[in-house]
Structure 1
């Protein structure tokens, strides 16, 4: 992977096109995608798709193989790489969440690139109290100048800048936040919330248990991805912020649970 040669920490919305971003997410979900399959899905020529995937391969996100592309490495993508996927969607989600947070609120915030985007969108707020187990989020929040920022102790996970494990769970259990803001790796077809590690799930569930209002922030590709560690259900959250309407079966579960769905980048929220 060419992650070390890319400085994507301050990536702009033009780093990847919308189609490139979706191609990368599709390959993350399935492990492989064929050129012909992608051309058909996006209703473009195979030549256009090859240009897209060549750009993704140059950035180290994917690797060309016979007939298509696959992930450049094993497991989840490096944090710097994940930041540029669905970039515009994350910004829309972050802006919508920021509008819903009053000044002076206390927030427990999980790991993840979408929660990080939310914190960046909150920098014009004042007097927030932020608890997080991600160092990237903590440093962004600290730069606001008026926020109180708390982090747990423990081993920092290389690359991601996360602190997970029992210390992170105990940390979130020691607060009662006005808002719990978290993402997930994927959402199963039955509404189950999925991540890649048991420790990630444990910390996320601790946030959910210890907040007055929960915000699940995710782009629509999370409904097409997969991860193997289950923890919690989408109907347990109060508010879902997504760039597109969730699949009908998921939307129905949220409607029955009384959760609010905010389709970001469009007017209004559908209860």
Structure 2
């Protein structure tokens, strides 16, 4: 038996073995604990710890005797998303902030990675920010050289996100230089998915009203399934900012269609 590695790495990111476990479950749909122990030459106790950690992170769902794919109709709890791969999200945020010049106008959508991007943009000068994320608005409102406009609508208690018809109308009033957006899942053919139809409707408006669209998505979004189709990355996105190289099938789609990929080291 090989010595067991830590159950999770720093900042809640999965370990290399846990990433392989997720890949295996995505290929098969369900994997038994006994099979994981044999495949990775670890004890069943270690396999259970890995599965439990991945279930806590929302990357897998625990079933009797093993693990399967997470729900396609319910997102990971917001508290868990805020700490899941936080270091990777911060690296993505720093990278995308380098691409945004001073005195730019931009949309910032809902999402934990876009929230980190707002933090990384706090030293920019002369920004004009339109957002429906109250946490982002609060964060940037303290920057004396930034103007922040907040959409009206229905506010969700869980994350401070504002959605609804009023929100759509508000965003339709603008045409900005950049949109920084997040998504719940990216399938191998580039299809983008999210869990909330109201958010997807707003994303479509945001994409239509931005001159350049940057997708901020860490590696946990690859091959992740959700309910609502939000379009395809090749039709909607100018550049993907991520913390790990896309899987081969997705990488081929991006390359064939000229979508730039920026990987944060």
TM-score band, normalised by shorter chain: 0.7 to 0.9
Which SS does the other structure have where 1:18 is aligned? coil
Q: How does 1:71-86 map to 2 (within 5 A)?
A: 75-86=74-85
User: Partners in 1 of 2:58 and 2:239 — Cα distance?
Assistant: 34
Per the alignment, residue 103 of structure 1 pairs with 102
Q: Report what 1:234 is aligned to.
A: 233
Distance 1:93 1:42, change over 3 A: farther
Work out the CA distance in 2 between the residues paired with 1:191 and 1:63: 24
Query: CA offsets per residue over residues 98-150 of structure 1, 9 Å max, x none?
Result: 11111111110111111111111112222211111111111112233321111
List structure 1 runs of 4+ shifted beyond 3 angstroms. 20-26, 28-66, 68-72
**Backbone CA RMSD of aligned residues:** 3.3
Distance in 2 (alpha carbons) for counterparts of 1:261 and 1:60: 25
Judge which range, 93-102 or 120-129, deviates more: 120-129
1:1-271 counterparts in 2 under 5 A? 14-19=10-15, 34-36=32-34, 39=37, 44-52=42-50, 66-68=64-66, 75-236=74-235, 237-265=237-265
Report how many aligned residue pairs link the two structures. 252
- Structure 2: 5+ residue stretches without partners: 1-8
CA distance in 2, matches of 1:134, 1:24: 34
| 1:52-105 deviations in Å (ceiling 9; x for gaps) | 556678899988764346879x82122121111122221111111011111111
Residues 23 and 38, structure 1, Cα contact 8 Å, conserved in 2: no
Give the 3 Å change call, closer, same or farther, for CA 40–199 of structure 1 in structure 2.
farther
Query: Post-superposition shift, 1:154?
Result: 1.4
**Conserved 8 A contact 1:61-1:81:** no
Show the counterpart of 2:4.
none
Alpha-carbon distance, 1:244 to partner: 1.5
CA gap 1:147/1:202 in 2 versus in 1, 3 angstroms = same
Counterpart CA distance in 2 for 1:31 and 1:157 is: 32
TM-aligned CA deviation for residue 49 of structure 1:
3.9
Tell me: CA distance 1:17–1:250, structure 2 relative to 1, closer, same or farther (3 Å). Answer: closer
Separation of aligned partners in 1, 2:259 and 2:57: 38
**TM-score normalised by L of structure 1:** 0.79
Contact 2:192 2:233 survives alignment (8 Å): yes
Q: Which is further off, 188-197 or 178-187?
A: 188-197
